[in-house]
């Protein structure tokens, strides 16, 4: 009995990806832009469906934005459309980055100084993002129930342990091999 939902053509799909891939300057809100485009502006998905896909996108490796686009592309327009959508989303930024790389490579204090300033700003943005995400460690799959103290402390220790191990020079692959099972134990057995 639900009203028929609009289905994107491949051209629609590519246009949405190209617009976000070209115009999303300033990194913070790309997921929101995407949500606006596919849920609110065009009604290709419901809010619940989008939230569900976002969870899958966050779980698997890769940038959330790309994972989201890939999953939705496979679902809405098939494999070829999905892959072309990824190219539309990722290629403009990649080409622009390469085009600009010559400017930053100039070995002069008045280029390398500001560059370092930008890198430091980027790191601060990363730290602010982390700061906003840390409270989420107190959640469980049920939004109404906070995690037990034991689980929270465990997650905090795991976070610090992972960071310490990587900074201490442990290989990423070893760290993941140990840390992922610990994370799973904290979530499913405690």
Cα(63)–Cα(146) distance, integer angstroms: 27
Minimal CA–CA distance to 87: which of 173, 24, 31, 13? 13
57-76 residues in contact with another protein (CB under 8 A) are 57-67, 70-71, 74-75
18-47 residues in contact with another protein (CB under 8 A) are 20-28, 30
Do 50 and 84 touch, CB atoms closer than 8 A?
no
Tell me the window of 7-15, 35-43, 136-144 that interacts with another protein (CB under 8 A).
136-144
Minimal CA–CA distance to 35: which of 7, 64, 9? 64
Among 14, 38, 45, 89, binds another protein (CB under 8 A): 89
**Cβ distance to another protein smaller for residue 43 or 114:** 114
101-130 residues in contact with another protein (CB under 8 A) are 101, 104-105, 109-110, 112-130
Alpha-carbon torsion (158, 163, 166, 167), positive or negative: negative
| Position 156 contacts another protein (CB under 8 A) | yes
Cα(123)–Cα(17) distance, integer angstroms: 27
**Cβ distance to another protein smaller for residue 10 or 183:** 183
Among 1, 2, 98, 144, binds another protein (CB under 8 A): 98
| Position 145 contacts another protein (CB under 8 A) | no
How far from the centroid of its chain's Cα atoms is residue 102's Cα? 28
Cα(53)–Cα(5) distance, integer angstroms: 18
Smallest separation, CB 2 to another protein (Å): 18
Among 11, 32, 41, 96, binds another protein (CB under 8 A): 96
Cα(10)–Cα(154) distance, integer angstroms: 46
Cα(19)–Cα(106) distance, integer angstroms: 31
**Cβ distance to another protein smaller for residue 1 or 23:** 23
| Position 190 contacts another protein (CB under 8 A) | no
Among 7, 32, 41, 100, binds another protein (CB under 8 A): 100
Tell me the window of 2-10, 17-25, 34-42 that interacts with another protein (CB under 8 A).
17-25
Cα(119)–Cα(98) distance, integer angstroms: 17
């Amino acid at each position: 009995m639900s009203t028929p939902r609009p289905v994107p053509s491949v051209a629609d799909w590519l246009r949405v990806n190209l617009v976000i891939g070209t115009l999303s300057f300033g990194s913070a809100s790309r997921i929101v832009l995407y949500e606006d485009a596919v849920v609110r502006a065009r009604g290709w998905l419901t809010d619940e469906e989008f939230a569900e896909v976002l969870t899958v996108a966050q779980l698997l490796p890769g940038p959330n934005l790309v994972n989201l686009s890939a999953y939705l592309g496979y679902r809405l327009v098939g494999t070829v459309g999905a892959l072309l959508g990824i190219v539309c989303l990722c290629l403009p930024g990649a080409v622009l980055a390469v085009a600009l790389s010559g400017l930053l490579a100039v070995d002069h204090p008045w280029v390398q100084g500001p560059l370092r300033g930008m890198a430091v700003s980027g790191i601060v943005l990363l730290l602010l993002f982390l700061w906003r995400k840390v409270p989420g460690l107190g959640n469980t799959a049920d939004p109404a129930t906070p995690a037990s103290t034991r689980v929270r402390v465990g997650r905090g220790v795991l976070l610090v342990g992972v960071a310490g191990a990587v900074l201490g020079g442990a290989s990423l692959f070893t760290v993941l091999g140990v840390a992922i099972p610990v994370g799973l134990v904290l979530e499913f057995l405690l």
